A = this chain, B = another copy of it.
Amino acid sequence: ITVDDYEQAAKALLKALVIREKYSKLVYHRFPRTTILHSQLDAFCSCITRADVVTYLLAEMYPSPNKGVDPYSTEGIPEDLHYKLSLKDGVVHVYKDDEALQQEQPHSLPYPDLETFAIDLSHILAMIADGPTKTYCHRRLSFLGSKFSLHEMLNEMAELKELKSVSHRDFYNVRKVDTHIHAAACMNQKHLLSFIQSTYHNDAERVVLEKDNKKLTLKEVFAKLKKDPYDLTVDSLDVHAGRQTFHRFDKFNAKYNPVGASELREIYLKTDNYINGEYFASLIKEVACDLEESKYQFAEPRLSIYGRSMSEWKNLANWFIKQRMCSPNMRWMIQVPRIYDIFRVKNLIPNYAKLLENIFLPLFLATVNPQQHKELHVFLKYVTGFDSVDDESKHSDHVFSYKSPRPESWTTEENPPYSYYLYHMYANIMVLNNLRKQRGLNTFQFRPHCGEAGSITHLACAFLTADNISHGLKLKESPVLQYLYYLAQVPIAMSPLSNNSLFLEYSKNPLREFLRKGLCISLSTDDPMQFHYTKEALMEEYAIAAQLWKLSTCDLCEIARNSVLQSGLSHQEKKLFLGERYLWDGPDGNDIRLTNVAQIRMAYRLETLYNELSFLLDAINSARTEEMGAPVGPSGSELSACLC
């Protein structure tokens, strides 16, 4: 690799980091202080000052529900701001009053417009295809892998010794968060089966479904299906993925229908049905109960908002509060399926903008005037983020660019591409977060499914827009993105058992390699109903990874620590679970008595990251020295201008 190439690669990588930093800051996502400070990113980038760093890092300190207070209380709800709202170019705009609305003078809530985003994205895309940068990243990643092997050989026993000397704390009682799990599949198949049988036992005569204007009791539903629930088995329930679902996302989706009957999905796995989602709520609460009993396990189930109509949010919030869904061991997320095309074909919505309006406008309304949307206001306290979900391997004919049609003009029956979805969700969440921040309300993280299959552009897109992602398998195929995800320590919730049934055999899963190189990896179950066998799905996930990849206790506890970091648990909870100074990188930020991660490991990770960042700086500094004939600090205005 020539000096020129090296310099070019370093510049490109630092620039990419600056871009992510900018995108993260605007939406109140997190960015590692080490990367900011040690790469002197603050010096390169006019938008960060050193003083900023600390406040910014603590920005995620959204309030967590207080103990002892009724979690569903509608007291002390903020006043109506009387703001006006209007969707423009697919993003909700906030106006002080009708006058401002008419004059099109929105509040100065930042969001990157489509052009800026498209240009920034194309920078990243150009860079991941750039030869010298690819070589550089590939080499650094190989080096990181070998370095970890060396670390392991030299320090494995020392790490173990450290862990042995920690009282009370071992892998079984460190906190673990299931960072990626869908509410509709959060129970295992046996659990669902028993639940169905018990409802039939107690509730056979209850009307549970309205179909074609006919009300059906549970008994009638099963009679229609020609099934006796007492005879059901996990085989006939048929919700488990298997060899048949490999590379068949459609078949996998069909597994959500117990006994292949969409009626049963409707009755048992939906929040908005004839019985007001009562069964679904009971099922989830049973899962929550098990988590609370385990004490050390947490989960972040995803509930669906589709964008078919504005009322979805109200219904979901009502369900949540009526069913009293709060659990200290659960934090909630909202998943939005990318299925505009289906709604469009059915003529449920006229264009893509309407989908966005249905998804986001209610949130803005509830933020501006919580008095009128009390349930949604309360529910949102427990929502920590958004997910974007669907089969990534689906191809889209449209190539996203600054010339892409505005959402209002997207009226075709074709589904927009992944990047288009991500940009619009990100932009709306950003405006919403800034508005909520101003009001002192909690903000949301964007945590899309990304890199499970399909194009690697998805990963470039999420590098800008996501706080953290689920899956990330495809990082295997792009050394540049993999290295960037490493440098920016973007958390990745991986689910190797899910992948094993859908997209990638277990033995080929890159998790082990990612972990060794130092990417921020956590383990999650995705869909226990479809993938797991035992009562403790998350432990099954950890156990299999530990066995197959011969992970050490320190490895496992590092993964568990990552999962808490990645999660939407509150600042207070993270302090409790990881240590007061968990926001500091390296040994300083690690309380081994809580995390059971060896300080040797923490030091290794921090030093290694330092080292990689220094390498980038060295490249730029030495280039400058050569050019200028004298050393110049990296805060030189020319450099920062060229990067910012």
Interface on A for B, CB 8 Å cutoff? 156, 160, 163-172, 190, 228, 230-231, 233-236, 238, 242-243, 497, 500, 506-507, 531-536, 539-540, 542-544, 546-548, 550, 552-553, 596
A153 CB → nearest B CB, Å: 11
Measured between beta carbons, the chain B residues less than 8 angstroms from A532 are 543
**Which residue of the partner chain B has the closest CB to A172?**
B190
A169 CB → nearest B CB, Å: 6
- In the bound complex, do residue A166 and residue B235 qualify as a contact, i.e. CB atoms below 8 Å apart? yes
What separation, in Å, do the CA atoms of A164 and B544 have in the docked complex?
A: 28
Measured between beta carbons, the chain B residues less than 8 angstroms from A166 are 233, 235
What separation, in Å, do the CA atoms of A548 and B243 have in the docked complex?
A: 11
Given contacts A190-B172, A534-B543, whether A238 and B164 have CB atoms under 8 Å apart is yes
CB < 8 Å: which of B228, B231, B233, B539 contacts A533? B539
In addition to A168-B231, A242-B550, A534-B539, 19 A-B residue pairs with Cβ atoms within 8 Å of each other are: A160-B235, A165-B236, A167-B228, A167-B231, A169-B233, A171-B235, A234-B553, A235-B596, A500-B550, A506-B547, A507-B548, A532-B543, A533-B542, A534-B534, A534-B536, A534-B543, A544-B544, A544-B547, A548-B548
**Which residue of the partner chain B has the closest CB to A173?**
B233
What separation, in Å, do the CA atoms of A19 and B544 have in the docked complex?
A: 42
What separation, in Å, do the CA atoms of A507 and B228 have in the docked complex?
A: 41
**Which residue of the partner chain B has the closest CB to A233?**
B170
- In the bound complex, do residue A163 and residue B235 qualify as a contact, i.e. CB atoms below 8 Å apart? yes
Given contacts A534-B534, A548-B548, A552-B242, whether A170 and B234 have CB atoms under 8 Å apart is yes
**Which residue of the partner chain B has the closest CB to A246?**
B550
> Within the oligomer, what is the number of copies of this chain?
2
A119 CB → nearest B CB, Å: 44
Measured between beta carbons, the chain B residues less than 8 angstroms from A534 are 534, 536, 539-540, 543
A536 CB → nearest B CB, Å: 6
CB < 8 Å: which of B165, B234, B507, B547 contacts A500? B547
**Which residue of the partner chain B has the closest CB to A543?**
B533
Measured between beta carbons, the chain B residues less than 8 angstroms from A235 are 160, 163-164, 166, 170-171, 553, 596
Which of A169, A532, A540, A552 has its CB near the most chain B CB atoms (within 10 A)?
A: A540
CB < 8 Å: which of B163, B172, B236, B552 contacts A164? B236
Measured between beta carbons, the chain B residues less than 8 angstroms from A540 are 534, 540, 543
Measured between beta carbons, the chain B residues less than 8 angstroms from A231 are 167-168
A523 CB → nearest B CB, Å: 13
8 A-B Cβ contacts within 8 A? A163-B235, A170-B234, A235-B596, A243-B552, A500-B548, A533-B539, A534-B536, A548-B548
A196 CB → nearest B CB, Å: 13
A257 CB → nearest B CB, Å: 14
What separation, in Å, do the CA atoms of A243 and B228 have in the docked complex?
A: 50
